[in-house]
Every structure is written in structure tokens, then in C-alpha cells.
């Protein structure tokens, strides 16, 4: 079932507000409407797009840049860690030994090693919106006054195709395993109609946790598939029609109260959203049973692998912006305060190495490489110095972003960190810069603005500039 933020209330016919919104879907169908309303862009805000779709992979928790793409083999043991580095297809560029498949792909992708910002908390807010001003967002929860996520901005400017959602988040909303609505991917002050369509998932562990241990110690992993909300086995088209009837009753009551344009728009969005929910095309995009066993195995049967495969399918069906957000179920996250090396070696790195390269292979094979941008990054990096629990702690001062697709300069390595991978020594890149780069590739001027609730314009890149050196 789709769920929404906000306290429960009562509609005028006695039906609870929460029930109405659950019947209608998250944010009153936010994220389901690709082109049901015209783009809000000024002509000067748009130019020729170089890509049609973006897949943003958020390695939530803070992936260890020094143990992945920026190894320091000459640093002291308490800095360099346990892993060896291996040569890649780019001469002079070593990466972690546990990423052998990606090592072969490095001459076809671009790597930024100097992502830096001040946010030391577990929110994807900075990386998904580009905003790093104000206070560190330790409160976690999204707010209607937040800056909109990149996918919401892309939707606002008309990205997407008719008949499919423009913006989808997999496998569920950020924080779903902790009952948190983490800030970042939402429409924010643009309104809930620009929220993404959140898939839903009910992942299981591949085996029970060992008694007395937690997910920092156990080699367990989450398995399961993301699915289209409200279209699980228990929800039929008839059930959706009943929900449509409920909402039509709600609309009738609302029109008695206020015959406003907003009310008419809401009714239009609801009708369009139900058409999409019942669309064979949309349901087919979310149907992983259409994939062969061999393909499922190439991506991996874990939740991350299934989400990555789902992202490829969504792009094939015309979705413009897909976010994969790793979660905290078992040890699916990247917050390695404890047992950093065991968890990376046994779980996280092999999963990413397998699933990401399978995605690259399929984008090439399906003719999508040139029109798709894949960005993999995290909310922060990890401390250069290893702590007493064999882990690394939060470190937003330096991190990485891996960018792939036909618009990228093959084999480009941008930015250099110091001898301990602690700070950039040249070409620091902010989340705003990363957002500006993505917007430009989508055909949106990085200098464009969007209005808040009062009509005040806000720059979508928050002062960021495109990193043109990584572009082909």
C-alpha cells in the first residue's frame, strides 16, 4: 500500500484523510504523472538534452572512498586498511581488489574523487538536491519547505514520456526500514505532485541473524524485489476501481466546498494516475518475471541487484529519472562504523561489482548506453583513520562519484585527494556541481530557477557549476 506523511484527519464525509490519501497513493499520485501537465520551464531554461534518462545510485550510509576508488597503498596501515589495490583498464588508476569487474570498465566511465560538502548526517538531502546550506539535517524527516530533489526538478521541467511515471525511487522511500522519511527525493516546496513514485519492497534476510549479534557482524543480506505499490498479489484491478470510486466521492464533496482550479487539477491528476496504475505498460515495467533466470543471476537475487535490474527496465519503458537508494535492512547500508573490511569484502563490494557491471552491459546491449546517465555516489565518504572497531566513521570532506554513459568522457579521472584521502587537493566538487552536471545533460539549464510556495525563485543547482571536464 502507498502511504503518506502527515497526521490522520477526517474528510467531510467521515472517511479519514489518511484513508483517502492511501487510496489515492503517495502525495496524491505524485510521481505518476509524466506529461499530464505542461512543463513549467521558460524557453531559456531548456536546451538540447544529451541523455533521456538518469539512474542515480545512492549508496546510503557513506561508502568508503579509500576502500573503493581512491586507495592509498603507501599510507600507514591505520589509513590504507586491509585491501590491496588492482590495476584497471585506465593506466595508473588502481581501485580496490574486490571490484574486479568494475576495474575492466574504468576506461568507459568517468570517476570524480573529490566530492566534498559539510553535511555529516545520514540524509540523502545534499546529494539528491544539491543544497548544502543551512544546518546539518540530523532531523532526518522530509518537510514541505525542503528544496526539491533532482528528479522532482526534472519532472517540473517536463522530462519524461506520456504513459509512464517520470520519476521513480527504488526499492522504497529512503528510511523505510527505520520508519523514517529521510529528506532528499521529494518535491519539497514544488508540491507533492512532483514527489516520485516510490516502489515498495518487503525484503527478507537470507538467513537468521546469529544470536547476540547485529548486522555489523553477520554475513546476512536482504533478498526481495521492488514492486509497483498497491499492485501486489492482493490488489486487483477491481480493488483499484473501488479506490477510484472512493476518490470520486471525495472529489464530489470537495467540489461542494470549493470549486477551485486546484480542486479541478487534483481530480485530473487522480484520473490520470489511476489510468497509469491500471496500464499494462506500467505494470509490465515493474514485472521482473519477464527477465530470464540468467539475467536475474547476473544482477544478483539480492534487493540491490533486483533494484538495479528494475532500474534498467524502467529506463527501457521511458522513465526519465530513477533513484536506487540502498537501505538499512540487514547490512544493506554503507555506514561501516564496525567491521568495515569484513562487510565490504563479503557483501557490499561484490554486490555492487556484479550488479553495476550487469547494468552497464545491458545498457550497451539494449542500445541505451548513449541516452542514459548512471551516477553512483553516497551521502558522504568515510574517515581515513580506522577506528577501534575496525570501522571507519563519517567523513563528508571527501568522497567519490562514478558516472557512466555515452555522455561521459571515457576513462576520465577528475580530482585528486591528499595522501590520506582526507581532503581534495584540487578540483573539489560540491553536490551542487554534481546536480548542475546532471541537469545540463537532461537539457535543463543549471542556472534555471523554480518557485517556492510564495513564488520566490530558487536556483536549482544552488550555485553549482557543471563539471564539464568529465563530459565527452
How many Å apart are CA 460 and CA 153, to the nearest integer? 8
Q: Which three cell numbers stand for residue 50?
A: 544529451
How many Å apart are CA 430 and CA 321, to the nearest integer? 21
Question: pLDDT at position 240, please?
Answer: 54
Q: Which domain holds residue 347?
A: 42-230+297-470
- Name the domain boundary from 265, 285, 305: 285
Strand blocks (E) in 149-194: 167-170
Asked whether the predicted pLDDT for residue 258 surpasses 70, the reply is no
Q: Does 48 map to a domain?
A: yes
Residues 277 and 180 in one domain: no
Question: pLDDT at position 86, please?
Answer: 99
Question: pLDDT at position 279, please?
Answer: 83
What's the pTM value of the predicted model, to 2 decimals?
0.88
Which of the four pLDDT bands, split at 50, 70 and 90, describes residue 227? very high
Residues 154-213 have pLDDT tens digits of 999 999 998 899 999 999 999 888 788 899 999 999 999 999 999 999 888 887 777 556
Q: For a pLDDT cut of 70, what percent of the chain falls above it?
A: 77
234 or 262, higher pLDDT: 262
Residues 376 and 356 in one domain: yes
Q: Does 376 map to a domain?
A: yes
DSSP state of 348: I
Mean pLDDT value of segment 345-354: 95
Question: pLDDT at position 448, please?
Answer: 98
How many Å apart are CA 173 and CA 201, to the nearest integer? 10
Question: pLDDT at position 217, please?
Answer: 67
Mean pLDDT value of segment 270-295: 85
Asked whether the predicted pLDDT for residue 268 surpasses 80, the reply is no
Mean pLDDT value of segment 362-379: 98
Residues 217 and 356 in one domain: yes
Question: pLDDT at position 26, please?
Answer: 42
**Which among 118-127, 265-274, 334-343, 386-395 has the top mean pLDDT?**
386-395
Sole residue written with cell 546491449: 365
Q: Does 61 map to a domain?
A: yes
Letter string b/e over residues 200-209, b meaning 16 or more CB atoms within 10 A of that residue's CB: bbebebeeee
DSSP assignment string, 283-335: HHHT-GGGS-HHHHHHH-SBHHHHHHHHHHHHHHTT-SEEEEE---STT-S--
Residues 384-422 have pLDDT tens digits of 999 999 999 999 999 999 999 999 999 999 999 999 999
Check: CB of residue 11 under 8 Å from CB of residue 17: yes
Which of the four pLDDT bands, split at 50, 70 and 90, describes residue 221? confident
Residues 104 and 122 in one domain: yes
Question: pLDDT at position 134, please?
Answer: 74
Question: pLDDT at position 214, please?
Answer: 61
Residues 133 and 210 in one domain: yes
Mean pLDDT value of segment 451-463: 97
CATH of the domain at 390: 3.40.720.10
Q: Which long-range contacts (CB under 8 A, 24 or more apart) does 392-397 make?
A: 392/64, 392/66, 392/67, 392/336, 392/337, 392/340, 393/337, 394/62, 394/120, 394/121, 395/62, 395/422, 396/62, 396/116, 396/117, 396/118, 396/119, 396/120, 397/116, 397/422, 397/423
Residues 232-243 have pLDDT tens digits of 444 545 555 555
Check: CB of residue 3 under 8 Å from CB of residue 26: yes
Question: pLDDT at position 123, please?
Answer: 82
Q: Does 36 map to a domain?
A: no
Q: Which three cell numbers stand for residue 91?
A: 593506466
Question: pLDDT at position 245, please?
Answer: 58
Residues 331 and 347 in one domain: yes
Sole residue written with cell 576508488: 69
Question: pLDDT at position 22, please?
Answer: 39
Q: Does 291 map to a domain?
A: no
The least confident of 19-28, 377-386, 396-405 is 19-28
Letter string b/e over residues 378-387, b meaning 16 or more CB atoms within 10 A of that residue's CB: bbbbbbbebe
Question: pLDDT at position 376, please?
Answer: 99
- Name the domain boundary from 285, 306, 324: 285
Residues 172 and 66 in one domain: yes
Asked whether the predicted pLDDT for residue 129 surpasses 80, the reply is yes
Residues 7 and 76 in one domain: no
Q: Does 35 map to a domain?
A: no
Residues 99 and 61 in one domain: yes
6 or 451, higher pLDDT: 451
459 or 29, higher pLDDT: 459
3-class SS string, 15-44: CEHHHHHHHHCCCCCCCCCCCCCCCCCCHH
Strand blocks (E) in 193-250: 197-198, 204-205, 222-223
Asked whether the predicted pLDDT for residue 230 surpasses 80, the reply is no
Which of the four pLDDT bands, split at 50, 70 and 90, describes residue 37? very low
DSSP assignment string, 354-405: HHHHHHHHHHHHTT-GGGEEEEEEES-EE-SS--TTS---EETTSEEEEEES
Question: pLDDT at position 327, please?
Answer: 77
Question: pLDDT at position 24, please?
Answer: 36
Letter string b/e over residues 249-260, b meaning 16 or more CB atoms within 10 A of that residue's CB: ebbeebeeeeee
Residues 121 and 254 in one domain: no
Which of the four pLDDT bands, split at 50, 70 and 90, describes residue 333? confident
- Closest by CA position to 392, among listed 350, 413, 430, 421: 421
Q: For a pLDDT cut of 90, what percent of the chain falls above it?
A: 65
User: How many CA atoms are closer than 13 Å to the CA of 247, on its beta-carbon side?
Assistant: 26
Sole residue written with cell 558516472: 403
Asked whether the predicted pLDDT for residue 45 surpasses 90, the reply is no
How many Å apart are CA 239 and CA 237, to the nearest integer? 5
Asked whether the predicted pLDDT for residue 19 surpasses 50, the reply is no
Which of the four pLDDT bands, split at 50, 70 and 90, describes residue 293? very high
- How many domains in the chain? 2
How many Å apart are CA 27 and CA 273, to the nearest integer? 11
Check: CB of residue 75 under 8 Å from CB of residue 420: yes
How many Å apart are CA 66 and CA 54, to the nearest integer? 26
Q: Does 37 map to a domain?
A: no
Asked whether the predicted pLDDT for residue 262 surpasses 50, the reply is yes
3-class SS string, 74-97: CCCHHHHCCCCEECCCCCCCCEEC
Sole residue written with cell 571490484: 99
Asked whether the predicted pLDDT for residue 115 surpasses 50, the reply is yes
Residues 409 and 390 in one domain: yes
* CA dihedral for 164, 168, 170, 175, sign (positive or negative): negative
Residues 336 and 455 in one domain: yes
Asked whether the predicted pLDDT for residue 274 surpasses 50, the reply is yes
Which of the four pLDDT bands, split at 50, 70 and 90, describes residue 137? low
Q: Does 290 map to a domain?
A: no
Measured CA to CA in angstroms, residue 378 lies from 16, 373, 459, 472 at distances of 38, 16, 23, 24
How many Å apart are CA 331 and CA 218, to the nearest integer? 8
Check: CB of residue 60 under 8 Å from CB of residue 378: yes
Amino acid at each position: 500500500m502507498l502511504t503518506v506523511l502527515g497526521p490522520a484527519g477526517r474528510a467531510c464525509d467521515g472517511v479519514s484523510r489518511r484513508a483517502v490519501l492511501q487510496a489515492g497513493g503517495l502525495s496524491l499520485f505524485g510521481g505518476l504523472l509524466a506529461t499530464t501537465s505542461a512543463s513549467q520551464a521558460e524557453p531559456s531554461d531548456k536546451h538540447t538534452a544529451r541523455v533521456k534518462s538518469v539512474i542515480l545510485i545512492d549508496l546510503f550510509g557513506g561508502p568508503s572512498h579509500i576502500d573503493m576508488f581512491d586507495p592509498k597503498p603507501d599510507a600507514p596501515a591505520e589509513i590504507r586498511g586491509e585491501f590491496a589495490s588492482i590495476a584497471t583498464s585506465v593506466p595508473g588508476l588502481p581501485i580496490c581488489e574486490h571490484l574486479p569487474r568494475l576495474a575492466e570498465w574504468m576506461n568507459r566511465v568517468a570517476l570524480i574523487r573529490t566530492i566534498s560538502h559539510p553535511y555529516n548526517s545520514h540524509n540523502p538531502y545534499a546529494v539528491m538536491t544539491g543544497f548544502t546550506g543551512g544546518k546539518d539535517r540530523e532531523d532526518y524527516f522530509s518537510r514541505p519547505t525542503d528544496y526539491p530533489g533532482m528528479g522532482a526538478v526534472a519532472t517540473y521541467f517536463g522530462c519524461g514520456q506520456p504513459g509512464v511515471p517520470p520519476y521513480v525511487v527504488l526499492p522504497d522511500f529512503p528510511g523505510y526500514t527505520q520508519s523514517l522519511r529521510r529528506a532528499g527525493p521529494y518535491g519539497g516546496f514544488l508540491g507533492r505532485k512532483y514527489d516520485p513514485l516510490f516502489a515498495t519492497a518487503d525484503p527478507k534476510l537470507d538467513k537468521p541473524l546469529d544470536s547476540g549479534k547485529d548486522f555489523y557482524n553477520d554475513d546476512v543480506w536482504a533478498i526481495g524485489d521492488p514492486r509497483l505499490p498497491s499492485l501486489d498479489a492482493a490488489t486487483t484491478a477491481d480493488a483499484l476501481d473501488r479506490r477510484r470510486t472512493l476518490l470520486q466521492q471525495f472529489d464530489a464533496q470537495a467540489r461542494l466546498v470549493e470549486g477551485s482550479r486546484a480542486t479541478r487539477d487534483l481530480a485530473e491528476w487522480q484520473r490520470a494516475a489511476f489510468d497509469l496504475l491500471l496500464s499494462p505498460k506500467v505494470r509490465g515495467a515493474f514485472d521482473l518475471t519477464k527477465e530470464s533466470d540468467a539475467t536475474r543471476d547476473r544482477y544478483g537475487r539480492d534487493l540491490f541487484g533486483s533494484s538495479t535490474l528494475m532500474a534498467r527496465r524502467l529506463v527501457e519503458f521511458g522513465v526519465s529519472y530513477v533513484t536506487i537508494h540502498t537501505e538499512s535492512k540487514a547490512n544493506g547500508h554503507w555506514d561501516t562504523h564496525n567491521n568495515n573490511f569484513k562487510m565490504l569484502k563479503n557483501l557490499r563490494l561484490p554486490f555492487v561489482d556484479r550488479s553495476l557491471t550487469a547494468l552497464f552491459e545491458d545498457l550497451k546491449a539494449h542500445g541505451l548506453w548513449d541516452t542514459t546517465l548512471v551516477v553512483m555516489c553516497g551521502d558522504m565518504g568515510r574517515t581515513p583513520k580506522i577506528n577501534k572497531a575496525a570501522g571507519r566513521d563519517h567523513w563528508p570532506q571527501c568522497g567519490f562519484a562514478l558516472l557512466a554513459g555515452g555522455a561521459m568522457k571515457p576513462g576520465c579521472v577528475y580530482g585528486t585527494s591528499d595522501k590520506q584521502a582526507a581532503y581534495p587537493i584540487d578540483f573539489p566538487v560540491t553536490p551542487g556541481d554534481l546536480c548542475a552536471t546532471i541537469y545540463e545533460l537532461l537539457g535543463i539549464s543549471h542556472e534555471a530557477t523554480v518557485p517556492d510556495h510564495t513564488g520566490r525563485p530558487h536556483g536549482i543547482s544552488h550555485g553549482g557549476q557543471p563539471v564539464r571536464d568529465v563530459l565527452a
